[in-house]
Amino acid sequence: MVSCLKYQKKMNNQEDQLVAEDWWLKPSLLPSQVWSYDKGVNGGYIADFAMISKDIRLIGTQQQLLEYFRESGVEIKDSWKVELTDDHKKLYERNNKKIVIIRLLS
C-alpha cells in the first residue's frame, strides 16, 4: 500500500502530459505443468509453478498510467521515464489515444 501511495504522489504532477515509462514488475508465479514418464496419480502431468517477471513500457498520459496502476493491481518493483519518441506518439495516436502497453524482452 505504501508503494501505491508513493506512486500516486509521483504521478499527480502534470496529468495530461504524454509520457513513456518502463515498469519493472515484481515477480509472480504462474501455474504450469510438466509431463512425467512416471505416470503417477496425475496421469503423467506434474503440477508446478513457473516464476515470471515482466518488464513493460507504458505510453500514455500521467492520468492513464495512474488509472492502469490502480485497476490492474500490478506491483511495481521500480519505474523510470523513457524518452518519448515519434514512434511512441504514433503508437498512441494509432491506439485512439488510449494507453499503450508493450512487453519488453529481457
Give 5-62 pLDDT, tens digit per residue: 565 555 555 568 899 999 988 877 666 666 666 665 556 666 666 666 688 999 999 9
Beta strands 100-104 and 55-61: pairing type?
A: antiparallel
Which pTM value belongs to this model?
0.66
Query: Where do we find the cell 508513493?
Result: 6
Q: How far is CA 33 from CA 14, 30, 50, 95, in A?
A: 45, 10, 9, 36
> What's the distance, CA 27 to chain centroid?
11
Q: For the chain, how far is it from start to end, CA to CA, in angstroms?
A: 27
